[in-house]
A = this chain, B = another copy of it.
């Protein structure tokens, strides 16, 4: 019936990765001849070439590029299926692939993961950050099993549960004129350098919920990858940043920075844990959500 076998996808991927049939053959533990045969047969059956033969090298045709994208999408899913079944057979529970869509949540996640690993010794936790389609796409595409995000999305097939409430605050350095004020208004940032993580402006709450509604903007916008460096920059007076209050207070021993409320009533935010509904009855997955929820309630006791 079907033409495309797993091995074909495997070959297409290996050739693209190693550039030649010979090299790909080595990786696949086959001879070059065997590959050449299968490739010819595949192209014959498909009725079109997958590679242009240019001299002694191969360049993918349009069909080849397409097949490569299919291979890169499907093969990892097969591998993951096998891994999950292997773990199942060995009495282990499985693996939990967590995707992060929110930079500062990383610190929070660590606090959940360590008790979780203790409770579920047979579950591997794997934290990922880069996805082909962004967060929910990764969920739908089975690249991850759980998503940590500030933007929930109530759509059929996915469930989101709030697991963490926090206040987003402005972080300022020791000499900063705003240090110690009760709160800051959008226009007071128009002379400032704002430091953020490298994500689109639509995903930065300080823009969407604070500056843009008031028609304000900072003087400059600097991009920093990591929280530590960001705090260092702020501490040395190079700019201001927007981070969760708990994170700022956590780090205030290490860096000389202080939180300032954003607006008169502060900027309330929530973090959500999203997962596929079909997975809702996987016990070790459910347990992660529950554990996060427990922490949420604990945190609440401190709040008021």
Interface residues of A (CB under 8 A from B): 1-7, 10, 28-29, 46-48, 62-63, 66-67, 69-70, 73-74, 77-79, 81-82, 84-86, 88-90, 132-137, 140-142, 153-158, 202, 276, 278
Asked whether B88 lies within 8 Å of A63 as measured between CB atoms, the reply is yes
Taking chain A's interface residues, is the majority helix, strand, or loop, or is none over half, making it mixed? helix
Q: Name the one of B7, B132, B136 contacting A136, with C-beta atoms under 8 angstroms.
A: B136
With A66-B84, A155-B134 given, is the CB distance from A6 to B10 under 8 Å?
no
Q: How far is the CA of A81 from the CA of B47 in the complex (A)?
A: 14
Asked whether B134 lies within 8 Å of A4 as measured between CB atoms, the reply is no
Determine the chain B residues whose CB is within 8 A of the CB of A66 once the complex forms.
81, 84-85
Q: How far is the CA of A81 from the CA of B4 in the complex (A)?
A: 9
Determine the chain B residues whose CB is within 8 A of the CB of A63 once the complex forms.
85, 88-89
This chain: copies in complex: 2
Asked whether A82 lies within 8 Å of B4 as measured between CB atoms, the reply is yes
Q: How far is the CA of A70 from the CA of B81 in the complex (A)?
A: 8
Which 6 pairs of residues, A with B, have the shortest CB-CB distance?
A: A133-B157, A134-B156, A140-B140, A47-B89, A48-B89, A137-B157
Asked whether B78 lies within 8 Å of A4 as measured between CB atoms, the reply is yes
Asked whether B5 lies within 8 Å of A69 as measured between CB atoms, the reply is no
12 A-B pairs besides A2-B6, A47-B89, A137-B156 with CB distance below 8 A are A1-B28, A2-B78, A2-B82, A47-B85, A66-B81, A67-B85, A74-B78, A133-B155, A133-B158, A137-B155, A137-B158, A153-B153
Q: Name the one of B69, B78, B86 contacting A47, with C-beta atoms under 8 angstroms.
A: B86
Asked whether A48 lies within 8 Å of B140 as measured between CB atoms, the reply is no
Determine the chain B residues whose CB is within 8 A of the CB of A70 once the complex forms.
77-78, 81
Determine the chain B residues whose CB is within 8 A of the CB of A158 once the complex forms.
133, 137
Determine the chain B residues whose CB is within 8 A of the CB of A74 once the complex forms.
74, 77-78
Q: How far is the CA of A263 from the CA of B158 in the complex (A)?
A: 33
Kindly name the residue among A4, A77, A78, A156 whose own CB sees the greatest number of chain B CB atoms within 10 A.
A156
Q: How far is the CA of A32 from the CA of B79 in the complex (A)?
A: 28
Q: How far is the CA of A70 from the CA of B142 in the complex (A)?
A: 10
Q: How far is the CB of A150 from chain B (nearest CB, A)?
A: 13
Q: How far is the CA of A86 from the CA of B3 in the complex (A)?
A: 11
Q: Name the one of B29, B85, B141 contacting A140, with C-beta atoms under 8 angstroms.
A: B141
Kindly name the residue among A5, A140, A155, A202 whose own CB sees the greatest number of chain B CB atoms within 10 A.
A140
12 contacts between A and B (CB under 8 A): A4-B82, A46-B85, A46-B86, A47-B85, A47-B89, A47-B90, A48-B85, A66-B81, A66-B85, A133-B276, A134-B155, A137-B140
Determine the chain B residues whose CB is within 8 A of the CB of A153 once the complex forms.
153, 155
Asked whether A5 lies within 8 Å of B4 as measured between CB atoms, the reply is no
Determine the chain B residues whose CB is within 8 A of the CB of A155 once the complex forms.
133-137, 153
Determine the chain B residues whose CB is within 8 A of the CB of A156 once the complex forms.
133-135, 137
